[in-house]
Amino acid sequence: MIDKVIVKIACAICLLLCVCGEDSDELDYRVEMRIFVQNISEYARSIDAGFFIIPQNGQELLTDDGESNGSIISTYVNAIDGVGREDLYYGYNDDDERTPAAETEYMIGFLDRAETSGIEVLVTDYCWTREKVDSSYQMNVTRGYISFAADERALNSIPPYPGEPHNVNSNDITDLSSARNFLYIINTENFPSKSDFLDALEQTNHDLLIIDLFYEGSDMLSAQDVASMKHKANGGQRLVIAYCSIGEAEDYRYYWSSTWDTDPPEWLDEENPDWPGNYRVCYWEPDWQDIIYGNDQSYLKKILDVGFDGVYLDIIDAFEYWEDL
């Protein structure tokens, strides 16, 4: 606890003195995030041309003015294959509660633009009441979105309902456009061992899995582990996508240094009060970006090396935090 207080104080002092080495008035935080994603995509595709890039939230980056009717940024759209969106129909204000209609319509404005631009939409709603789960799947499929109804915000379980994935099939899934459903599970706390976790996933029939590169935050999955999940229980081939947060640093990751508790790097900002252990970062800073991509020790290279089909990039909407300071 004391260490966390120290790092918060140190980060606050750093923020008062400078904004990660840049004058805040000179930065366009949305442009910086867009460039970050584009560079991640370019690096990944230089190694695996068929690698899928899927940013979650931050849909405003699709257009030049951050409005749903703005001009599409072609360089950004060409760099991604899908967009993830949380809370479209359920979970915006509270889990298992309907998202306000105005918020849903706002998000749909961007998501439909993504679809018409050839970008697949993956929606994660947070609900568990059966009627709401059914409603979520039906409303998403009506709009042509792929969806998952998560029964836990922590994304730590395979929901017991429905017993089979919505629109279950035995087709071979080789691209996002052919997927009809997905499972998003990045917290392995409910699985006693890595083998238990892998066995549970192997027994599912989801077209696409979004999982973490690590079991319990430190035990990295092997190429054999990833390969074992690439077939549904019914025999069809599926895609396995790795989760990666690029807008925050996590203190349980391999890259975290114990020295940061008392001497944080310039790009490390305060802890996210909603997610203990997650820290805001100046994502445009080269030292942070080097952790994420561009070299053999980077997070993305580890994902590529073990054979994931793509990456699901989280905290894309970090630009909102910096704009509001």
CA–CA gap between residue 295 and residue 54 (Å, rounded): 21
Write out pLDDT tens, residues 172-185. Answer: 999 999 999 999 99
Structure tokens of 104? 């849903």
Structure tokens of 21? 């080495």
CA–CA gap between residue 101 and residue 119 (Å, rounded): 24
Distance from the Cα of residue 321 to its chain's centroid: 17
Q: What is the pLDDT of residue 217?
A: 86
Which portions of the chain are predicted below pLDDT 70?
1-25
Q: What is the pLDDT of residue 25?
A: 63
- Sorted by where each starts, the structural domains of the chain and their CATH numbers stand as 2-323 (3.20.20)
Q: What is the pLDDT of residue 12?
A: 47
Cα angle 216, 221, 227 (rounded to 5 degrees) comes to 140
CA–CA gap between residue 267 and residue 172 (Å, rounded): 43
Q: What is the pLDDT of residue 270?
A: 96
Cβ proximity of 119 and 155 under 8 Å: no
Q: What is the pLDDT of residue 136?
A: 98
Q: What is the pLDDT of residue 26?
A: 85
Would you call 105 exposed, middle or buried from its count of C-beta atoms within 10 A (0-12, 13-18, 19+)? exposed
Element (H, E) at 311: strand 310-314
Q: How many CA atoms lie within 13 A of 170 on its CB side?
A: 3
What's the one-letter identity of residue 315? Answer: I
pTM of the predicted structure, to 2 decimals: 0.94
Q: What is the pLDDT of residue 23?
A: 57
